[in-house]
């Protein structure tokens, strides 16, 4: 039987790399979609708001794992072969869009109504006011919770291991299958996740402190 | 008709609470009008109706030829003609003073960058804040912020400027510097409507004073009505106010 060596360590590090790739992909795609969700949620068109609200309720009410199964196995039924990375990224994108969309909607709606008034009284349209006045302020406000949510996303990518995408968790499983040293392997995996997430948490908290000072 | 603002029998309700009960008045071009009255008398609401920040339930309002009745309003055109300054300044905190002023010049007036810039510097000079062009609002005192807000509105070259209790959040010293700016505008011939609690200021610069009481125009006339009020309600109001 093999023992844990640099070969396994390298394999785990490669897993870290793929975890980062999947996290980045999910977060970027989810941000783009989430921005659309936010815009729809603050739209003046009631049907659009209701529709998006339903979308958010549904996505937030489904476990990511199930969403992942739907995209990976469900779509596979129709003869479309979805690569594990693509399926994971799509499922995560949908999931992230619903949550980030809500975080950003909250920020947009937290901007005082008087900012809208001031902007529209200068002759700017609703859309211009949103893009030029409201969203820049809301974005600043939503930065700490958004980065905080990125930490969640990194941890959520571990679910991609179930559809066979070899990221950090799956890499740990594969190594453990040959070494049978679950404690060592998964503690290491845990440490790697922590090392990825902790700096982001610190960053998020630091930003929050800075923003609060600015608001005082 | 030379009236630039014409308010006729305006009624406005917030829920069951009728805050304007048939308000009518006219404002001539170049006139400085002070609207005074107790809190809750409807004076701010009347002002906000003139910029269509509140919609009215009945009656009609005409401002610079724009009809603000119960029908649809071309807000963009209305707001090219009407400027408003608020009690809480409402500057854009993420933009510098210069950017605050240039934003609407660029996106509404569609002026070139250079034109926006020189316009911003011109109006900032007018309110005595040319040196603060690149500061952020949070770096300024309340009085300075309010002067920037006036400059921002002024830059759009409105035909009428509305002031909604613009000194109510300021201490007496800062109030003075803001009132001086408004006084300069009055001398320059700007048509202005001020909702204010500054009675001595109203008496000094207003051509016309409108006293509102319980959602109605109670007494109106020249600034002399502040020293020689006819109605008992205005007597009581200026009695406590001075």
Q: What is the structure's pLDDT at A18?
A: 97
Tokens of A207: 């930003």
The verdict on B53 touching A (C-beta cutoff 8 Å) is: yes
A125: which chain B residues are within 8 Å (Cβ-Cβ)?
76
Q: Provide the number of structural domains found in chain A.
A: 1
Chain A residue nearest residue B154, CA to CA: A122
ipTM entry:
0.90
Angstrom distance (rounded) from CA B74 to CA A202: 49
CA distance B66 to chain A (A): 14
Structurally, chain B folds into a number of domains equal to 1
CATH at residue A37? 1.10.3720.10
| pLDDT tens, residue order, chain B (242 aa) | 578 999 999 999 999 999 999 999 999 999 999 999 998 899 999 999 999 999 999 999 999 989 887 778 888 889 999 999 999 999 999 999 999 999 999 999 999 999 999 999 999 999 999 999 999 999 999 999 999 999 999 999 999 999 999 998 888 888 989 999 999 999 999 999 999 988 888 998 999 999 999 999 999 999 999 988 889 999 988 885 44
State residue A216's pLDDT score.
Answer: 45
CATH of the domain at B15: 3.40.50.300
Compute the nearest-CA separation of B121 from chain A (Å). Answer: 18
**Is the Cβ of A114 closer than 8 Å to some Cβ of chain B?**
yes
Distance CA(A99)–CA(B144), nearest Å, equals 40
Structure tokens of B184? 């300069």
Counting one residue from chain A and one from chain B, the pairs whose CB atoms sit within 8 A come to 53
- Selecting from B88, B93, B156 the residue whose C-beta is nearest the C-beta of A123 gives B156
> Mean pLDDT throughout A73-101?
91
Q: Do B90 and A124 touch (CB under 8 A)?
A: no
For residue B90, list chain A residues with Cβ-Cβ distance below 8 A. 114-115, 117-118
**Which has more pLDDT, B239 or A179?**
A179
Query: At B2, is the secondary structure helix, strand, or coil?
Result: coil
Chosen from B75, B146, B158 to mutate, greatest number of chain A CBs within 10 A = B75
In the 3-class helix/strand/coil scheme, how is B134-147 assigned residue by residue? CCCHHHCCHHHHHH
Residue A29 and residue A85: Cα distance in Å, rounded? 13
pLDDT tens digits along B100-149: 999 999 999 999 999 999 999 999 999 999 999 999 999 999 999 999 99
**pLDDT value, residue A28:** 97
* Phi, psi torsion values for B30, nearest 5 degrees: 85, 0
* pLDDT score of A67: 95
Which of A:132-161 have CB within 8 Å of B?
A: 132-133, 136-137, 140
Look up the domain containing A27 and give its range: 6-215
The alpha carbon of residue A125 is apart from the nearest alpha carbon of chain B, in Å, by 7
Average pLDDT over residues A192-198: 97
A128 chain-B contacts, CB cut-off 8 A: 107
Is residue A123's pLDDT more than 50? yes
- Three-state SS letters, A124-164: CCHHHHHHHHHHHHHHHHHHHHHHHHHHHHHHHHHHHHHHC
Please report whether residue A1 resides in a domain: no
**Which B residues, 136 through 175, put their C-beta within 8 Å of a C-beta on chain A?**
138, 149, 152-153, 156
Tell me the chain A residues in contact with residue B86 when contact means C-beta distances shorter than 8 Å: 114, 117-118
Q: Does B66 touch chain A (CB under 8 A)?
A: no
Judging by DSSP bridges, how do beta strands B58-63 and B216-221 pair with one another? unpaired
**Range of the structural domain that residue B72 is part of:** 3-241
């Amino acid at each position: 039987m093999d023992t844990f060596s640099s070969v396994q360590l390298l394999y785990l590090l490669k897993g870290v790399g793929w975890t980062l790739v999947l996290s980045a992909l999910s977060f970027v795609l989810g941000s783009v979609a989430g921005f659309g969700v936010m815009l729809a949620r603050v739209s003046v068109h009631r049907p659009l708001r209701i529709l998006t609200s339903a979308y958010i309720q549904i996505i937030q009410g489904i476990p990511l794992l199930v969403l992942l199964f739907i995209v990976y196995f469900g779509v596979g039924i129709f003869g479309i072969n979805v690569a594990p990375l693509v399926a994971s990224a799509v499922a995560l994108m949908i999931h992230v869009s619903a949550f980030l969309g809500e975080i950003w909607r909250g920020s947009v709606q937290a901007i005082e109504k008087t900012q809208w008034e001031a902007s529209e009284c200068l002759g700017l349209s609703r859309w211009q006011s949103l893009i030029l006045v409201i969203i820049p302020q809301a974005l600043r406000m939503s930065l700490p919770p958004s980065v905080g949510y990125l930490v969640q996303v990194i941890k959520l990518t571990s679910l991609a291991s179930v559809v066979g995408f070899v990221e950090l968790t799956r890499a740990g499983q594969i190594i453990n299958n040959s070494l049978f040293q679950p404690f060592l392997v998964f503690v290491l995996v845990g440490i790697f996740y922590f090392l990825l997430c902790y700096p982001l948490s610190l960053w998020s908290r630091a930003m929050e402190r800075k923003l609060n000072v600015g608001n005082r | 008709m030379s009236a630039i603002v014409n308010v006729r029998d305006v009624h406005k309700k917030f829920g069951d609470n009728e805050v304007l009960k048939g308000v009518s008045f006219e404002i001539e071009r170049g006139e400085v009008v002070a609207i005074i009255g107790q809190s809750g008398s409807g004076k701010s609401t009347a002002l906000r109706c003139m910029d269509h920040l509140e919609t009215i339930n009945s009656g009609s309002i005409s401002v610079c030829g724009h009809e603000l009745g119960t029908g649809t309003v071309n807000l963009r055109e209305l707001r090219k003609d009407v400027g408003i300054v608020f009690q809480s300044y409402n500057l854009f905190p993420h933009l510098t003073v210069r950017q605050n002023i240039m934003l609407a010049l660029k996106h509404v007036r569609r002026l070139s960058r250079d034109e926006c810039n020189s316009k911003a510097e011109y109006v900032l000079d007018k309110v005595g804040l040319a040196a603060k062009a690149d500061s952020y609002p949070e770096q300024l005192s309340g009085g300075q912020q309010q002067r920037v807000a006036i400059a921002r509105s002024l830059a759009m070259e409105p035909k009428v400027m509305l002031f909604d209790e613009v000194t109510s959040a300021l201490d007496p010293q800062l109030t003075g510097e803001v009132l001086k700016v408004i006084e300069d505008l009055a001398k320059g011939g700007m048509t202005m409507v001020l909702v204010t609690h500054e009675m001595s200021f109203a008496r000094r610069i207003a051509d016309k004073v409108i006293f509102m009481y319980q959602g109605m125009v109670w007494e109106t006339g020249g600034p002399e009505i502040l020293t020689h009020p006819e109605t008992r309600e205005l007597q009581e109001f200026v009695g406590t106010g001075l």
